[in-house]
Chain A
Amino acid sequence: MLDNRLIGLVLALAGVIVAPLLLPVANATELLIFALVAASANLLIGWSGLYSFGQAALFGIGGYAGGYLLANTDLALLLPVVFGGLVAAVFAVAMGAMCVRRVGIYFIMLTFAFNQLVYYIAYSWRDVTGGEDGLFGIERPGALLPGLPEIDLNVPINFYILVAVIVGLCFLALLRVVDSPLGQILLAAKDNPRRAGSVGYDIHAAQTLAFAISGFFSGIAGVLYGMVYWIMPIDAVHWLTSGYIVFMVLVGGTSSMFGPLIGATIFILLQDFFSTLWARWPLLFGAVIIAVVMFLRGGVIELVSHVRGFAARRRAMRGEAGNA
């Protein structure tokens, strides 16, 4: 297991280095940001069995909260970033506490309703969110913390490196969470909520905590997203974004935290490719989603493990043949 994770981390690092060479830097930055959202969504979806269809709400709240500070104050960069994460985490606690009391379809519908609640608030609270036009004027302050020397973050690659470091640290923290006792409780509650509950764990509290953590990291991703194009678009809190995040998680595979990273990569590549082909690219995208659900249900990560299992069996057979 450990060496699988090491391989994963090395590959992820390689991906981070290669991405800005193959893609426009802004798109590569977006890729990292969505990888973080997808990984934090997987804490709910894969680890907790909480099929959240409202991740965009958390992403968006963070983006608006942090973006508002970046557009209207001169705070050093990391403060709005953390602030966005915290605001999203607080909202996530409220949302999670309500939603985890329901299971199955009702849970999905509730998270979706929360998503729309946030969307309509963003839509009507023009003074803060800019409404339909999005929140304009988001800056990338040069100082990371008050007193630190300034970096020119308007150079795309500098900003990319900063995002890579922040996303990398957040991802490591997420890995730490899934390894922790909390991660184990979430897994247990997913497999058999009644048993996990009767052993004495407060499942709802653990799941609400998972919401908070997921919200924190999604919120951070939201603030970073606002900085990529200097605007927080209202589309970011639309339910379509939640759908895309679920797609990233599922297409990558929920059984590993690395799956969503692959999923986010696939999403960004497909989106870039399709959007150059046709203005109606969501149609192509929808068709891909349908195909994936029909034919590739374990996600790419399971495809990889199938192939590896197959290769291992081949090696074993060859080994036996050699011994004979």
Chain B
Amino acid sequence: MTTGLIIVQLMNGIALGALYALMAFGLSIIKGLLNIPNFAHGALYLIGAYVAFEVSSSLDSFWLGLPAAVLASAAVGVVIERFGVRRLYGSAYLFQLLLLFGIALVLEQCVILIWGTLGQSLTPPGILMGAVDLGVSLFPKYLLFTTLVSFLVIVGIWFVIEKTHFGAVIRAGLERREMVSALGINIELLFTLAFAMGAGLAGLAGALAVPLVGVSNTMGTDMLAIAFVVVVLGGLGSIYGAIAAGLLVGIVQSMSALWVPSASTVLIYAMMILIIAFRPQGLLGER
């Protein structure tokens, strides 16, 4: 095994981890603000992927497909929040969970109705085709691109949350929901925005994944499971923990593919169990 291969796998892992981080970051925001386990997050990722695929292939422009996917998923997210989740604030988790499970089921079936069950693939846009020379080895340009976009988006959201007035409101909402609404802030609008933001991130992750893995109607479920693992690993009460954990999971998965390719998915879960056994609050979580 050459160092070149290991470095490439490491960078693969970072690119993959960046997608996981986008997913889990969105889940964490929704979990933190709305206190809801978003079981429809995988379906939103799925919608993002298919919309990106559809727009990119019919208009022949990935650059339109990307924002279209984000908007489509965010819009579906707004509908879910306004007409579904909103009515269940304050009721038991199990009902929220079952509602979102039902929504996920309906959305996944709708995707199958529209696009069929056949998997499809999409090539990256011309400018991102090919590879760059890293000195030790070649690396696909598109993977660099997904990594870069994911990090820019995450940094952008970090900036909004930590440095702007709107972000201050969100942070306050994460800490004390009732207090925020008592201060006269429209918490309902905040919830809708947060859900739309989380959903948009899922859509973005889905769209970015299309040139890598194509589209298939099971991709949402697979991604949802990993995103949950990442959130659990990231830790309680920490939205940034999800980013670190996302990268960790991506790197572990792609590095383990070097040695035990068939078990790399199972390994993620094994890692989760180990970490939870020794650090139940997660990587960056508080007790």
CB within 8 Å of B: which residues of A? 45, 51, 53, 98, 101-102, 104-106, 108-110, 112-114, 116-117, 120-121, 124, 239-240, 243, 246-247, 250, 280, 282-283, 285-290, 292-294, 297
Residues in A neighbouring B270, C-beta threshold 8 A = 117
Residues of A near B265 (CB, < 8 A) are 120, 124
Residues of B within 8 A of A (CB): 31, 35-37, 84, 87-88, 91-95, 97-99, 101-106, 108-110, 112-113, 221, 225, 228-229, 231-232, 236, 262-263, 265-266, 269-270, 272-273, 276-277, 280
Enumerate 30 A-B pairs (CB-CB under 8 Å) in ascending A order.
A51-B92, A51-B93, A53-B97, A98-B273, A101-B276, A102-B280, A105-B36, A112-B225, A112-B228, A114-B269, A116-B225, A124-B262, A124-B263, A239-B221, A243-B101, A250-B98, A280-B112, A282-B105, A283-B105, A285-B105, A286-B101, A286-B102, A286-B105, A286-B106, A286-B109, A287-B106, A288-B102, A289-B102, A293-B98, A293-B102
- Least CB distance, B110 to chain A, in whole angstroms: 7
Residue of chain A at shortest CB distance from B113? A280
**Cβ–Cβ < 8 Å partners of B269 in chain A:** 113-114, 116-117, 120
A240 to B217, CA, bound (A): 14
Q: Which residues of A contact B93 (CB under 8 A)?
A: 51, 104-105, 108
B232 lies within 8 A of A45 (CB): no
* Contacting pair B232 A109 (CB below 8 A): yes
| Contact residues of A: prevailing secondary structure | helix
* A106 B236 Cβ-Cβ under 8 A: yes
8 shortest interchain CB distances as A-B pairs: A286-B105, A289-B102, A283-B109, A117-B269, A286-B106, A116-B225, A290-B102, A109-B228
* Inter-chain contacts of B37 with A (CB < 8 A): 105, 108-109
**Across-interface contacts of A124 in B (CB, < 8 A):** 262-263, 265-266
Minimum C-beta distance from B222 to chain A (A): 8
Q: How far is the CB of B115 from chain A (nearest CB, A)?
A: 13
Bound-complex Cα distance A102 to B281 (A) = 8
**A residues in contact with B102, CB < 8 Å:** 286-290, 293
Known A104-B93, A117-B269, A121-B266; 11 more pairs at CB < 8 Å: A51-B97, A110-B276, A120-B266, A280-B109, A280-B113, A283-B109, A285-B105, A286-B105, A290-B99, A293-B98, A293-B102
**Alpha-carbon distance between A283 and B107 when the two chains are bound, in angstroms:** 8
Query: By the criterion CB–CB under 8 Å, are B228 and A294 in contact?
Result: no
Rounded to whole Å, the gap between the CB of B87 and the closest CB of chain A is 7
Interface centre among A114, A287, A290 (most CB of B within 10 A): A290
B39: shortest Cβ distance to chain A, in Å? Answer: 8
Contact A246 B109 (CB under 8 A): no
**Residues from chain A with Cβ under 8 Å of B272 in the complex:** 113
Min CB distance A58 to B, Å, is 16
Minimum CB–CB distance for B33 against chain A, Å? 12
Q: What residues on A are CB-neighbors of B101 within 8 Å?
A: 243, 246-247, 286, 289
What residues on A are CB-neighbors of B229 within 8 Å? 109, 113, 116
Q: CA A108 – CA B276 in complex, angstroms? A: 14
Q: Are A98 and B277 in contact (CB under 8 A)?
A: yes
- B106-A290 in contact (CB<8A): yes
Tell me, in angstroms, the Cα distance from A240 to B106 when the chains sit together.
12
Provide the residues of chain B in CB contact with A109, threshold 8 Å.
37, 228-229, 231-232
Q: Which residue of B lies closest to A238 (CB)?
A: B221
A294 to B6, CA, bound (A): 51
Identify which of A51, A113, A289 contacts B99 (C-beta below 8 A): A289
Q: How far is the CB of B82 from chain A (nearest CB, A)?
A: 13
A283 with B110, Cβ < 8 A, contacts A51-B93, A239-B225 known = yes
Q: Is A250 within 8 A of B109, CB to CB? A: no
Chain A's closest residue to B276 (CB) is A98
Q: Is the CB of A105 within 8 A of B31?
A: yes
- Residue in chain A with minimal CB distance to B282: A106
The residues of B that contact A290 with a CB separation of less than 8 Å are: 84, 99, 102-103, 106
CA distance A105 to B33 in the complex (A): 13
